[in-house]
């Protein structure tokens, strides 16, 4: 591609509303342009990378035996009513009425549509397993779309759905998808980790996320330093402290702590560490099968003062409202507590204590009286030990739940997610096949997503410097950039340039030739190429050609070096591989 | 691809609601499945062909210098308000409100979005011309979606938009697109014609449609039998009859024609041919710049009795309501006419006469009195000749307007459309660049569409027989089908099959191997392959292999023939080319 025939759209200024680096660089390099909040046009430069990502995803899905389909973006409400999600999904589901006043949505995901296809198409266990995927435009009406294509409203996703006669078959396909995803992200040239994940609202038994590691990631990932264990902090289990709880040695005492409602204030006032203070969090309750009547009672959660509540773990407790809601001062008062001074003694509510907090001794806690804390509190001696649960986020240095090593925590961007869905959708939609004995069997399902457009942004988050993007070879919009010096005045340079451009293109490389005239300085051309992230740069000049050389520079780490023109094709083949 | 690993979905029965052959065969062969009215899932078989069409379109657009982009499907209403189409577009525009109650639509076309991009991105004439295209999912909320993907609500379109400093530059790109489209449809293996077309509601100066010729087509195309001239009958110009109007020889007479309001009735009663009867059509009027007040007056159109009114030509007359509306009996009475008996004499309205009708002499016409016609009427002698216009559809045998030969009429399916839009959108949206002199210049635009999913259906309409689809090689889902006899019992057959399958796949062919076990008879396998339209079939059997042969049959015209196994690869390369 020649610069003069390309819709080059580089910009010097960083757009004001772009916060994360990938968003800034995608705008500045001219990969995308904003149409409206969360809606972006992919410009020629950006689309080249997007299509390369799609192609790798497609190849590996096909290799893993999945078959490509294409489902409509617009979906009838009836199917979503069958699974109940028409009512549950909330504002992210863009609902629309057609000209006959029938309800539809713009698909944020396709479980309903594919399960409908499966129940119509699959009738016998002999047709199983089947794994169907599509690469398609999705829409989620995010409240606050941000970070460019990282969290856009309209985006491109590869979503796959597998159907099985039993869990064992699902596990085999799940493992294949795990492998395929690892191959995909490896081929994309990304530093990634598959991590155990919460199955969340999609439901199901087992789930892994694939994260691109980058400091700007929205997720915390916990890794063992001695094993392959990796899990989203949302899910990572904390291990109960080893050994017996320390003995009760201090006297229980009540102490005035006027207006000291934070752990930090109390600890500093009492010259203790936050780890010696018991944190109490009162959350709203929810009806359970046993307690289905009246106002649901609040629930009290106790943690060590230096630990953070893991909301997902808390939401899984029966009787706790999901999503988590904090109780009001009045609700706290109603169970005998005082907001800011809640403790175990005398509180009239179901309580849970985190594994680490259950191991505390001689600690400080609220007295359930205004401006008062207790010191020297000990479980069992001074108050009943509540039911023990894993309630907190793991922290760096925690022992790994796999039993090997301790945990380290890094930030990641979720780019893939695989789920064992089980029968959640097939049950609701009556998707069945006949088994060997001619009996109905509900299909067992898996689903497997990759945020294709998000992958592009994540790759930039992980691969950039002050001058711009540094593309991995596999997804660079152009592999090679050529800057000819004096192209419009030197016949020698022009001839060598054209010959090399033709030769490299014929060898299968995507070549970008900056043939702009002298009004654009070499410095501007170099800066544009660095901003656009082209991995390999060649400069052709009269002086170089006199010595039979061109100048080569790698975007990632390069010092410029002279390479004989005669060797440059082989040299590049070696570099790009 | 092996049949046992493929989501084969052939069906014997023709679905009841599928009227046209492509819809029937796409369902029966398992290419598509219906999700809801006008919404289809592309199954693995169908998607293979769709992707091949896309690839050819993409290659030729790139070759013609167009650059690929990808715009959002969901578009903000503001842009459509700028061009006025938010109000004009009618029910086909699927309007939707986001969670913040802002108006959007699901794009049926992208003139507004691309013009917005152009006004933000293009600032100088030096950046021109630019031609941007996308291959993308569109939505048109058809009142009555039908014929499967031929007239679906959600469909895939290639839409391109070019921007120019002047009309001359637009003409160059328009010609390039005309060429590119011809290459595309030629490569797709289709019998097609580019035809002059009406620019319709999109507006603009010049327009060609590309039609796939098929008896099921919805459009009539007029062709010269001696030149390249081809035009949609909507647009094709009629030529005024040669020579002088015949002399007035008959006496004018009034004759009772009780209740005879149709041309046929009157002609047969008077033993004349319909060509000797003047047809009068009274249509509603419309305000014009000159006549902007009061109720617009009806307009009378006269045609020869055997000719059909061309509504598009009529709508272009100033003072005629568009879309065309027929006047009521009362409205006819108000201008001195009697419904069914309207004629030129004494009618109090603006009249137009078709070129052929203006050439009539001694003819029959309405008398503007109940149950009465006039015979022996002659223009000028018996009544003023109204303004002469081209008002009718051409018919087979008409002289071609190009001056060479006569017209033939065939049916076609519109699969592509190119337009010279001019400044319709750029003017409304203030899309300008600075010209050589630093002055504002409004961008001149072209737009170029191909109905990608419709191409697939059209190809079937043109290429099928009683047994199913007959794919052109370029877009066959699989080039070659292999049916091994006794595959599961004969080691010799199995080994030869596997070797050939590997060899043909390695040579770049898409091969379908029907490896289903003996419960599926060879007859069923043959029938499936014919239904699916695979262009080349190979049967491998013990008996054949003993003689060193495999059996080859071409889907289109084939007698089965034996080919030495050793030669089959070369043979197929020659066949497929």
* CB nearest A42 (choices: B36, B41, B70): B70
**Alpha carbon of B38: minimum distance to chain A alpha carbons (Å):** 10
CB contact under 8 A, B74 and A132: no
Three-class SS state of B285: strand
Structure tokens at B511: 């091969």
Query: Reduced to 3 states, what is the DSSP secondary structure of residue A346?
Result: coil
pLDDT at A198: 74
Q: What is the mean pLDDT of residues B512-528?
A: 95
Evaluate if residue A293 carries a pLDDT over 90.
no
Chain A residues with beta carbon closer than 8 angstroms to that of B35: 71-72, 75-76, 113, 116-117
* pLDDT bracket for residue A202 (50, 70, 90): low
Does the pLDDT at position A205 exceed 90? no
Q: Residue A204 pLDDT > 70, yes or no? A: no
Residues of chain A with Cβ-Cβ distance to B33 below 8 Å are 117, 120-121
Q: Residue A98 and residue B141: Cβ atoms within 8 Å?
A: yes
Q: Choosing among A42, A67, A142, which should be mutated to test the B contact, i.e. which has the most B CBs within 10 A?
A: A67
d(CA B367, CA B378): 13
Q: How far apart are CA B398 and CA A411, in angstroms?
A: 76
What tens digit of pLDDT does each residue of A38-95 get? 999 999 999 999 999 999 999 999 999 999 999 999 999 999 999 999 998 889 999 9
Closest-CA residue in chain B for A49? B69
- SS3 of chain A: helix, strand, coil, percent, to 5: 30, 30, 40
As given in the structure block, the two tokens for residue B339 are 């419904």
Q: Which residues of A touch B95 (CB under 8 A)?
A: 96
Q: Is the pLDDT of residue B515 over 70?
A: yes
Nearest chain B alpha carbon to A114: B41
> Looking at residues A149-160, what average pLDDT do you find?
96
pLDDT bucket at B577, cuts 50 / 70 / 90:
confident
Enumerate the residues of chain A whose CB falls inside 8 A of the CB of residue B127.
7
Among all residues of chain A, which has the CA nearest to that of B48? Answer: A68
Nearest to A523 by CA among A7, A2, A12, A9: A12
Q: Which helix (H) or strand (E) holds A311?
A: helix A311-315
Query: At residue B289, does pLDDT exceed 80?
Result: no
8 Å CB contact of B69 and A42: yes
Name the minimum distance, in Å, from the CA of B175 to any CA of chain A. 18
Average pLDDT over residues B236-263: 94
pLDDT band at A218 (very low <50, low <70, confident <90, very high): confident
Contacts of A21 (CB under 8 A, 6+ apart): A216, A460, A461, A464
> Measured between alpha carbons, how far is A464 from A456 in angstroms, rounded to an integer?
12
Asked if B72 and A9 come within 8 Å (Cβ–Cβ), the reply is no
Q: Are strands B350-354 and B299-304 parallel, antiparallel or unpaired?
A: parallel
Q: pLDDT-based confidence at B547, cuts 50/70/90?
A: very high
The confidence score (pLDDT) of residue B322 equals: 84
The mean of the pLDDT values for chain B is 95
d(CA A255, CA A363): 13
**Residue A251, CA atoms < 13 Å, CB-side half-sphere:** 3
CA distance B117 to chain A (A): 8
Question: CB distance A137–B132 less than 8 Å?
Answer: no
Q: Which residues of A touch B121 (CB under 8 A)?
A: 7, 9, 33
Q: In sequence order, what DSSP letters do the residues of B508-560 get, joined into one string?
A: T--EEE----TTS-HHHHHHHHHHHT-SEEEEE-HHHHHTTEEEEEETTTPPP
Nearest by CB to residue A74, choosing from B68, B116, B154, is B154
Tokens of B360: 């009539």
Size of interface A-B (CB pairs under 8 A): 134
Contact A76 B36 (CB under 8 A): yes
Name the minimum distance, in Å, from the CA of A317 to any CA of chain B.
31
- CA of residue B70 relative to chain centroid, distance: 24
Among A5, A50, A72, the residue with its CB nearest the CB of B39 is A72
Q: Mutate which of B1, B3, B7, B149 to test chain A, going by most A C-beta atoms within 10 A?
A: B7
pLDDT exceeds 90 at position A449: yes
ipTM for the whole predicted complex goes beyond 0.90: no
The pLDDT of A467-483, averaged and rounded, is 97
Closest CA to A407 of A240, A241, A191, A231: A231
Overall average pLDDT of the B510-525 stretch? 95
What's the mean pLDDT in A481-506? 96
Q: How far apart are the first and last CA of chain A?
A: 21
Alpha-carbon gap, residue B233 to B209, rounded angstroms = 12
Which of B99, B113, B121 shows the shortest C-beta gap to A91?
B99
SS3 per-residue string spanning A90-126: HHHCEEEECCCCCEEEECCCCHHHHHHHHHHHCCEHH
**Chain B residues within an 8 Å CB radius of A70:** 41-42, 47, 50
Report the alpha-carbon distance of residue A142 to residue B98 in Å, rounded.
10
Burial label for A275, CB within 10 Å (0-12, 13-18, 19+), is: middle
Q: Note the residue count of chain A.
A: 577
Across the interface, of B40, B67, B98, the residue whose CB is closest to A94 is B98
User: Parallel, antiparallel, or unpaired for β A192-196 and A154-164?
Assistant: unpaired
CB burial of residue A101 (10 Å; 0-12, 13-18, 19+)? exposed
A294: confidence class by pLDDT, cuts 50, 70, 90: confident
CA–CA min distance A450, chain B (Å): 19
Comparison of pLDDT for A17 and A442, the residue scoring more: A442
Q: What percent of chain A has pLDDT over 90?
A: 90
Predicted local distance difference test score (pLDDT) of residue A436: 93
Give the model's pLDDT for residue B204: 62
Rounded CA-CA distance A96/A76 in Å is: 10
Residue A153 — φ and ψ, nearest 5°?
A: -85, -45
DSSP B485: T
The residues, any chain, with a CB within 8 Å of residue A567's CB and separated by 6 or more, are none
Question: Which of A9, A50, A137 has its CB closest to that of B73?
Answer: A137
Which of A33, A70, A99 is facing B47, going by the closest CB pair? A70
CA atoms within 13 A on the CB side of A370: 2
The DSSP call for residue B205 is S
- How large is the average pLDDT for residues B391-405? 94
The minimum CA-CA distance between B69 and chain A, rounded to whole Å, is 5
Query: What is the per-residue pLDDT across A533-576, written as a single tens digit (0 to 9) for each?
Result: 999 999 999 999 999 999 999 999 889 999 999 999 999 999 99
Nearest to B67 among A7, A36, A71 (CB): A7
Cβ neighbours of B36 in A, within 8 Å: 72, 75-76, 104
The mean pLDDT of chain A is 95
> How close does chain A come to B91, measured CA to CA in Å?
6
Q: Do A94 and B96 touch (CB under 8 A)?
A: yes
State the pLDDT at residue A90: 87
Asked whether the beta carbons of residue A120 and residue B33 sit closer than 8 angstroms, the reply is yes
d(C-alpha A68, C-alpha A71), whole Å: 10
What is the rounded distance in angstroms from the CA atom of residue B179 to the CA atom of residue B167? 18
Strand partners, A96: A104
pLDDT at A203: 56
Q: Is the pLDDT of residue A199 over 90?
A: no
A201 pLDDT above the threshold of 60: no
Alpha helices in A29-109 (DSSP H): 44-63, 77-83, 85-88
Q: Is A141 in contact with B98 (CB distance < 8 Å)? A: yes
For residue range A364-380, list pLDDT tens digits in order: 999 999 999 999 999 99
Q: Which residues contact A380 (CB under 8 A, 6 or more apart)?
A: none
Of A43, A153, A154, the CB nearest to B69: A43
pLDDT of residue B288: 73
**Chain A: closest CA distance from residue B337 (Å):** 40
**Residue of chain A minimizing CA distance to B49:** A69
How far, in Å, are A226, A571, A576, B138 from residue A554 at the CA level?
A: 35, 12, 10, 41
Arithmetic mean of pLDDT, A506-524: 95
Residues from chain B that touch A67, judged by Cβ atoms under 8 A, are 6-7, 44
Q: What pLDDT is recorded for position B373?
A: 97
- Closest by Cβ to B94, choosing from A69, A76, A96: A96
CA–CA separation, A437 vs A431, rounded Å?
A: 17
- pLDDT tens digits, one per residue of B449-466: 999 999 999 999 999 999
User: How far is the alpha carbon of B72 from chain A, nearest alpha carbon, in Å?
Assistant: 6
User: pLDDT tens digits, residue range B24-82?
Assistant: 999 999 999 999 999 999 999 999 999 999 999 999 999 999 999 999 999 999 999 99
Tell me the whole-structure pTM to 2 decimals.
Answer: 0.89
Distance, in Å, from the CA atom of A24 to the CA atom of A293, rounded to the nearest integer, reads 53
Q: State the smallest CA–CA distance between residue B401 and chain A in angstroms.
A: 40
Strands B67-68, B130-139: pairing kind = parallel
Q: Which of A9, A71, A74 sits opposite B121 (nearest CB)?
A: A9
What's the alpha-carbon Rg for chain B, to the nearest Å?
Answer: 30
């Amino acid at each position: 591609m020649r610069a003069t025939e390309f819709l080059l759209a580089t910009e010097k200024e960083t757009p004001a509303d772009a916060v994360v680096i990938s968003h800034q660089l995608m705008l500045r390099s001219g990969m995308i342009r904003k149409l409206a909040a969360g809606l972006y046009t992919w410009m020629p430069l950006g689309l080249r990378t997007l299509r390369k990502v799609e192609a790798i995803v497609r190849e590996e899905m096909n290799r893993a035996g999945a078959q490509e389909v294409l489902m409509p973006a617009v979906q009838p409400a009836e199917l979503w009513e069958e699974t109940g999600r028409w009512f549950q999904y909330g504002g992210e589901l863009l609902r629309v009425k057609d000209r006959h006043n029938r309800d539809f949505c713009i698909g944020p995901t396709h479980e309903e549509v594919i399960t409908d296809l499966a129940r119509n198409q699959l009738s016998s266990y002999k047709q199983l397993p089947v794994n169907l995927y599509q690469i398609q435009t999705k829409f989620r009406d995010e409240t606050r779309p941000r970070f460019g294509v990282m969290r856009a409203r309209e985006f491109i996703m590869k979503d796959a759905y597998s159907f099985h006669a039993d869990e064992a078959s699902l596990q085999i396909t799940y493992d294949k998808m795990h492998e395929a995803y690892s191959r995909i992200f490896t081929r994309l040239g990304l530093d990634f980790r598959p991590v155990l994940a919460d199955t969340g609202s999609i439901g199901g038994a087992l789930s892994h996320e694939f994260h691109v590691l980058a400091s700007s990631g929205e997720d915390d990932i916990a890794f063992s330093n001695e094993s392959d264990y990796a899990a989203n902090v949302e899910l990572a289990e904390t291990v109960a402290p080893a050994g017996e709880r320390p003995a009760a040695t201090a006297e229980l005492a009540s102490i005035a702590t006027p207006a000291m409602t934070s752990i930090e204030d109390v600890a500093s006032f009492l010259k203790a560490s936050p780890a010696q203070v018991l944190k109490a969090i009162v959350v709203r309750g929810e009806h359970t099968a046993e307690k289905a009547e009246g106002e649901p009672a609040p629930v009290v959660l106790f943690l060590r003062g230096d630990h953070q509540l893991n909301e997902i773990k808390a939401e899984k407790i029966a009787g706790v409202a999901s999503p988590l809601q904090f109780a009001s001062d009045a609700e706290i008062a109603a169970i005998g507590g005082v907001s800011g001074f809640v403790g175990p003694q005398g509180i009239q509510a179901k309580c849970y204590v985190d594994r680490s907090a259950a191991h505390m001794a001689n600690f400080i806690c609220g007295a359930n009286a205004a401006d008062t804390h207790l010191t020297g509190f000990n479980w069992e001696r001074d108050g009943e030990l509540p039911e023990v649960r894993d309630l907190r986020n793991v922290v760096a240095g925690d022992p790994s739940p796999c039993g090997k090593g301790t945990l380290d925590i890094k930030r990641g961007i979720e780019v893939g997610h695989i789920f064992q869905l089980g029968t959640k959708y097939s049950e609701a939609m009556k998707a069945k096949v006949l088994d060997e004995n001619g009996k109905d069997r509900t299909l067992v399902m898996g689903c497997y997503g990759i945020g294709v457009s998000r992958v592009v942004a994540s790759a930039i988050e992980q691969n950039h410097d002050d001058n711009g993007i540094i593309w991995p070879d596999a997804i660079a919009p152009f592999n090679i950039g050529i800057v000819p010096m004096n192209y419009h005045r030197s016949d020698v340079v022009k001839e060598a340039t054209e010959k090399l451009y033709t030769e490299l293109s014929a060898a299968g490389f995507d070549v970008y030739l900056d043939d702009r005239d002298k009004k654009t300085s070499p410095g501007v051309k170099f800066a544009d190429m660095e901003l656009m992230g082209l991995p390999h740069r060649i400069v052709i000049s009269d002086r170089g050609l006199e010595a039979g050389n061109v100048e080569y520079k790698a975007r990632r780490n390069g010092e410029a070096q002279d390479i004989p023109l005669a060797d440059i094709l082989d040299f590049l083949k070696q570099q790009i591989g």
